[in-house]
Structure 1
Amino acid sequence: MPQRTWRRPLDEGLRDAYLTRLGFPSPPPPTLDTLRALHRAQIEGVPYEVVWIALREPRTVEPLDSMGYLASGRGGYCYHLNGALAVLLDWLGFDTHLRVGGAQGRNDPVAPGATGSHMVIEVHGLPAPECAGGRWFVDTGLGDGLRDPLPLVPGDHRADPFRFRLRPSDVVPGGWRFDHDPRGAFAGMDFAPSEASIADFTDKHRELSTAPDSGFVRTVTLARREGRVIHELRGLALQTVAPGGEDSSVLTARADYFAALADLFRLPLSDVDESRRGVLWNRLREDHERYLLAQTGSQ
């Protein structure tokens, strides 16, 4: 079995601080019920967000750093959300594995494949009626994706307001393909079957978080699931998707934007002072004005 080089020695203080953020007063046992509860707690309590990129905060993909970001009240994107969760699960006694993935946007010229643009978790050894092999696809870093872990077997799944499909990958031998709902924020994601290392993600993380043409650099994006409802904020455009329909609005007031971050996205930014908030808000307004001008010019 390939060595899991991403594993880290237990840090009880960091573990307990992270568990507290997720609402667990003490370390839970490594059961399927626990896996589901932890997954849902992170999906609903910790935002998928790249505000830190707009604030020009340097970040690594080192899992212990990621645990620190989350334990301190911040969020992150896939490398942080899944990297932190993978180490936590390992510390709790789950048979945890990292996989190299690659996600594609709706209008993305990047071909499907395990490109390193996404980090995936697999958890093994938890058999259930719907998962006789005991292998689970675990992913809290897909934004508007999973609410619960999925059995790693081909099939269709419903997690209101969306439907998903998990199937063998067409382009990654032995790998898997996650097809998102047509209304989702991205088209899908492929991931490889072999054990990943943190080094597999460092170059792509640097590109995604710093390159001027990266969507994460161009647009300040947040997403969070709340039961059957998904909230997404792209720039100043807020969208809520529920089983009964969708609702959209534009947050034109600074107070409304930061209130939405705190209330809808569980991101109060308590460690960001007024000066840095002002820089962020001015950037968002300028981006929105450029967007409006582009829309006017295209008509």
Structure 2
Amino acid sequence: MFTDRLDPRLQQAYLDRLGVAAEPPSAAALQRIVRRHAERVPYETLWIHAGQAWDIDPHTAARRIAHERRGGYCYHLNGALGLLLTSLGYATTAHVGGVHGPDGANPTVVGNHLALSVTGLPTEDNPTGTWYVDSGLGDALHDPLPLVAGAHRQAPFDLTLEESADGTRWHLGHDPAGGFTGMSWTTGAARVEDFLAQHQRLSTSADSGFVQVAVVERRDATGVDVVRGLVPSRIGEGARTDAPVTDRGTWFALLADVFDLPLDDLTPAERDRLWSTVLAAHRRWEESQA
């Protein structure tokens, strides 16, 4: 999937967005890039509710991240990150994944997630040198994980990694405090085409959770800031759920201040559509609770 490289000027703009400098590949440098990506590039689906039709080309996603201060969901975040890492000299592979709930993995979720691995960076704690990298799960990883079966801690979450008996699949088990149960992925290399059908469904179908509720998440070292519709919350250190933000100006200011999403790329009509769509969804939810 990552067979070419970023334009050097776009690469530099991307690094500037993350606040890191280009340096030779290493486990420590990989950690710095992945951490900054989690902290500075939000997981967000606001584009769906603003009426924007995004594709999942990694170059396009990288331009949005670097120049428009936008984020996206897994195809955009991990697609762009994988392209950046490849351009910096990392041996990076995209994988077909599937995020699932309590009922476990099943064929319907295959391809609803793009996962990454990076090889060739051995450390004392990870002698194989293979790392699981994922900036596209919203409330899960803050750092790369050694691709080693067992329990892993990334505050505030306890995570697990399991390898299938035949070595063709891995599974991430998420903490119950998180927003999903787990994610499985295959070890083979993926192509953009492997995700097109699920991207179409996730971004346009009425039964997609992304279409039903706008979501923004930003991971840091101690937890996750979240907005679902009009409701801000925090998972982890300082956990809380705030009252719905029903004032338009306050809601857009929250997105800019907490998530670094000024949304300057939106036209006035798109901003109006985003607000009216999110407000209408919240009112429908209130009516359902009455």
TM-score after normalising by structure 1: 0.91
Q: How does 1:140-219 map to 2 (within 5 A)?
A: 140-169=135-164, 174-219=168-213
Secondary structure at the aligned position of 2:242 is classed as strand
Give the 3 Å change call, closer, same or farther, for CA 146–109 of structure 1 in structure 2: closer
Residue of 38, 43, 51 corresponding to 1:43: 38
SS state at 1:163 partner: strand
Q: Which secondary structure state, in structure 2, belongs to the residue aligned with residue 61 of structure 1?
A: coil
Aligned-partner SS, 1:134: coil
Preserved contact between residue 135 and residue 151 of structure 1 (Cα < 8 Å): yes
Please give the residue correspondences for 1:112-127 in structure 2 after superposition, counting only pairs within 5 Å.
115-127=110-122
What per-residue deviation string (whole Å, max 9, x for no partner) do you get for residues 225-251 of structure 1?
132131111101111122354333311
Structure 1 counterpart of 2:143, one-letter code: D
Q: Counterparts in 2 of 1:1-299, with a 5 A limit?
A: 5-24=1-20, 26-72=21-67, 73-105=69-101, 111=106, 115-169=110-164, 174-243=168-237, 245-296=239-290
Is contact 1:114-1:190 (8 Å) kept?
Answer: no
Q: Aligned pair count?
A: 289
Q: Secondary structure at 1:267's aligned position in 2?
A: coil
CA distance in 2 between counterparts of 1:39 and 1:195 reads 20
- Seen in structure 2, the aligned counterparts of structure 1 residues 109 and 253 have a Cα distance that, compared at 3 Å, is farther
1:174 offset after TM fit, Å?
2.0
Q: Is the 8 A contact 2:233 2:239 kept in 1?
A: no
> Does the 8 Å CA contact 1:113/1:191 hold for their aligned counterparts?
no
Measure the CA separation in 2 of the matches of 1:89 and 1:258.
32
Identity of aligned residues (%): 40
Give the gaps of 5 or more residues in structure 1.
none
CA distance in 1, matches of 2:284, 2:164: 39
Asked if the contact 1:144–1:230 (Cα under 8 Å) also holds between the matched residues in 2, the reply is yes
Deviates more, 1:173-182 or 1:45-54: 173-182
Whole-angstrom distance in 1 between the partners of 2:26 and 2:143: 14
**Paired AA for residue 272 in structure 1:** L
Please report the RMSD computed on the Cα atoms of aligned residues, expressed in angstroms. 1.9
Q: Contact 1:105/1:185 (CA < 8 Å) preserved in 2? A: no
Deviates more, 1:244-253 or 1:181-190: 244-253
SS of equivalent residue, structure 1 residue 205: helix
Shift of 1:275: 3.4
Alpha carbons of structure 1 residues 161 and 109: separation in structure 2 relative to 1, 3 Å: closer
Alpha-carbon distance, 1:199 to partner: 1.0
Change (3 A) 1:114 1:30: farther
Query: C-alpha displacement at 1:111, in angstroms?
Result: 2.3
1:232-279 CA deviation, whole Å, 9 max, x = no partner? 111011111223543333112112211111111111101224332222
User: C-alpha distance in 2, partners of 1:109/1:249?
Assistant: 33
SS at match of 2:259: coil
User: For 1:10 and 1:69, how far apart are their aligned partners in 2?
Assistant: 13
The answer (yes or no) to whether the contact 1:6–1:198 under 8 Å persists in 2 is no
Per the TM alignment, residue 79 of structure 1 is displaced from its structure 2 partner at its CA by 0.3
Unaligned stretches of 5+ residues in structure 2? none
